[in-house]
Amino acid sequence: MDMPSIWRTLDGGTRRAIVLVSLAYTLIAASFGALAVSGGLPLWVPIVMSLTVFAGASQFATVGVVFAGGGPVAAVLAGLVLNARLLPFGFALADSFGSRWWSRLAGAHLLTDASVGFVLPHRDPARRRAAFWAGNIAVFLTWNAGVALGAVAGDRVADTDALGLDAALPAILIALVLPALTSRDAPGRARRRAAPAGAALAVATTPLLPPGLPVLLALAALPLTLLGPRAGRNA
């Protein structure tokens, strides 16, 4: 996979988005690495977990369960519940993975929340693939580098709330998907019918459900994309 040529096919907005998201992920990853090591885990645990699991929210949840005294089954279940939200993302972006079994396996492993923001604004299949692979490979590399740096630094970077990272990454992701929601074509109109209802469901149920489940519940708004002429075929 020729990353320089893939990078050159991307527009400037997508490149800037990838850089910003990668920076945010690096800082959050450093927080995770520092948190894991300062909590008593060996240095290699957060590093190996990030390489093999590569799911930030699930990694935080799993480590949190372990630190709270939970067993391995409870820790794994916590991670699986959070990662379940990625299943519909995989269906939506499957065309970007490639047709070979190894590219589909790699694509599924690299899939993140940011993947949707990288790919969704593009309609051309080649650009969708380029955005998916360039964005997710960049995030994978920077996330794992951040975890390693945080693990080595220890508890000196454990608290990123003071940096505003809890709000920075969601803000970047919202900015990424806005073009897909504001387009005037049939898919854009279909998304605008479903997005507010899905967001309202997720926000309303966040205080009531475990993390990860409100996002899954937001999928109940998807049938709204089928309303209107030709929306079902184009959305």
Domain boundaries, the chain: 3-161, 183-235
Give the distance between the most distant pair of CA atoms in the chain. 58
What pLDDT score was predicted for residue 173? 55
Instruction: Kindly state the percentage of the chain with pLDDT values over 90.
Output: 11
Between 41 and 11, whose confidence is greater? 41
85 pLDDT tier (thresholds 50, 70, 90): confident
Residue whose entry in the numeric block shows the structure tokens 């000196």? 156
Distance, CA of 232 to CA of 235 (rounded, Å)? 6
Dihedral of CA 89/121/26/1: which sign? positive
Between 96 and 230, whose confidence is greater? 96
Give which of 117, 120, 119, 90 is closest to 188, Cα–Cα. Answer: 120
**Are the CB atoms for 7 and 134 separated by under 8 Å?**
yes
What pLDDT score was predicted for residue 235? 45
What pLDDT score was predicted for residue 157? 54
The set of residues, in sequence order, having a beta carbon less than 8 Å from that of 204 and lying 6+ positions away, is: none
What pLDDT score was predicted for residue 167? 56
Between 101 and 202, whose confidence is greater? 101
Distance, CA of 65 to CA of 62 (rounded, Å)? 5
What pLDDT score was predicted for residue 234? 45
Q: Give the H/E segment covering residue 201.
A: helix 186-205
Q: Is the pLDDT at 78 greater than 80, yes or no?
A: no
What pLDDT score was predicted for residue 99? 81
Most confidently modeled range among 1-10, 18-27, 137-146, 168-177: 137-146
Q: Is the pLDDT at 156 greater than 90, yes or no?
A: no
What pLDDT score was predicted for residue 48? 93
Average pLDDT rounded to a whole number, residues 171-180: 59
141 pLDDT tier (thresholds 50, 70, 90): very high
Computed over every residue of the chain, the mean pLDDT equals: 77
Between 131 and 163, whose confidence is greater? 131
